[in-house]
Amino acid sequence: MENLIISFILGLSVMFFGMTAWLFFRRDGRLSVIVASLMTLLGLQCFCSLWFILEDVYLHPYYWKMLTCIDIVAVPFYALILKELVRPGSVSWKVSLANVLPFAIVGILYAVIGTGVLYWIMIAGAGMYGVYYLIWTHFNIIRYNRQLKEQYSFTENINLDWLRKILWFFFALLAIWIVDTVCVHANMDCFYLTASMVMWMIIDYFIYRHEAVMESLGARDGETEEPSAEVPALSELGVRIERLFNDELVFLNPDLKISDIAAAVGSNRTYVSAYFNREASSTFYDYVNGLRVRHACRLLRDTDWSIKLIAERSGYNSPQAFIRVFTKTKGISPSDFRASGCA
């Protein structure tokens, strides 16, 4: 009965990881390749485990070492996914090899001449490696979200707040994996596999959505990134930028990016960003949203429009984003602001 249950869960895992690998391999992008590679490794491990159970050789030392080898090689792919998320474009082939190769060498050594001491060194090293990258990711999410505000007037669907919450799932999975390697038991294997599938359903969804949005924004940036041959002086650049915001009200565009401003004034993102940081003493995000909130205040005072309509007319894609930014800026919700007499 025990073998039947674990065989069923392993079969589900093979199908899940196989389908997920196929889904991500169909997409372009470095992150998709890393995710697809990890899903392939996890699917291969589950397939081998299922085959060994059906052949009744699951607990044979040789086959157990093979599974452990695959398991340990998968560890750095978790870190590479986190690294590519918080620092897009940073995971080159050299970086990938530098992370994967040591684990592959140790895993193969264990599979060939494995001893108990090497096994525990391997598990302890993988655990410390995982904890390090979880902590590293936490701090780099803050850095990543701060950089977004230098480039975009919105952060919905492109920030990594979702990853900060899911990091706890990564930590829990790492802890379950370590316990599973220490206390080898069929029940723990079932729990680990089930937890893995549930967690990866959630993470794959967010990664897939996040990468699709960032690719879309990147494509549009590529269309408008062509810099002018002559870069205007910072003071002259400021005049052009102020004209865009004060006369043309470009801040009402809900998808406004700093590359759009750069293209409109005939400059590049570096100089435009420097203007906001030095002359306006603000990030691009805060500057644009300050104007949007000021515009919304006038609408709240002079019209009886709904909050949803005011959000749309003030440059927001959703009422929720408008309410959040307005409340953070003014210290009061739009409804309460209107009810207070719009002071």
Q: Please indicate, yes or no, if residue 90 is contained in any of the structural domains.
A: yes
pTM (predicted TM-score): 0.77
Domain harbouring 308, CATH code:
1.10.10.60
Domain harbouring 133, CATH code:
1.20.1070.10
Same domain, 46 and 176: yes
Q: Please indicate, yes or no, if residue 204 is contained in any of the structural domains.
A: yes
Kindly list the distances between the CA atom of residue 152 and the CA atoms of 172, 216, 237, 269, in Å, as whole numbers in the listed order: 33, 14, 19, 11
Find out whether 152 and 321 touch, Cβ atoms under 8 Å.
Answer: no
The pLDDT value recorded for residue 343 is 55
Give, rounded to a whole angstrom, the gap between the first and last alpha carbons of the chain.
71
- Token couple for 254: 């809900």
How many Å apart are CA 123 and CA 184, to the nearest integer?
13
Q: How many domains does the chain have?
A: 2
Q: Which domain holds residue 48?
A: 2-223
For residue range 102-138, what is the model confidence (pLDDT) as tens digits? 999 998 888 888 777 888 888 889 889 989 998 999 8
List Cβ<8 Å contacts ≥24 apart for 315-322: 315/153, 315/251, 315/252, 315/253, 315/254, 315/256, 315/288, 316/254, 316/292, 317/154, 317/156, 317/254, 317/255, 318/156, 321/154, 321/156, 322/296
Kindly list the distances between the CA atom of residue 81 and the CA atoms of 22, 30, 298, in Å, as whole numbers in the listed order: 17, 9, 45
Tell me which H or E stretch contains 250: none
Give me the half-sphere count of Cα atoms (radius 13 Å) on the Cβ side of residue 29. 24
Nearest to 313 by CA among 262, 272, 254, 271: 254
Same domain, 173 and 257: no
Find out whether 153 and 138 touch, Cβ atoms under 8 Å.
Answer: no
Rg (CA), the chain: 26
Same domain, 60 and 129: yes
| Other beta carbons less than 10 A from residue 17's beta carbon | 23
Residues in the chain: 343
For residue range 53-92, what is the model confidence (pLDDT) as tens digits? 766 655 566 677 777 888 889 899 999 999 988 888 889 9
Same domain, 8 and 118: yes
10-residue mean pLDDT series, the chain (343 residues): 77 93 87 92 87 66 76 90 87 92 90 81 89 90 84 80 79 81 72 85 82 58 46 68 90 91 86 82 89 93 92 92 92 89 63
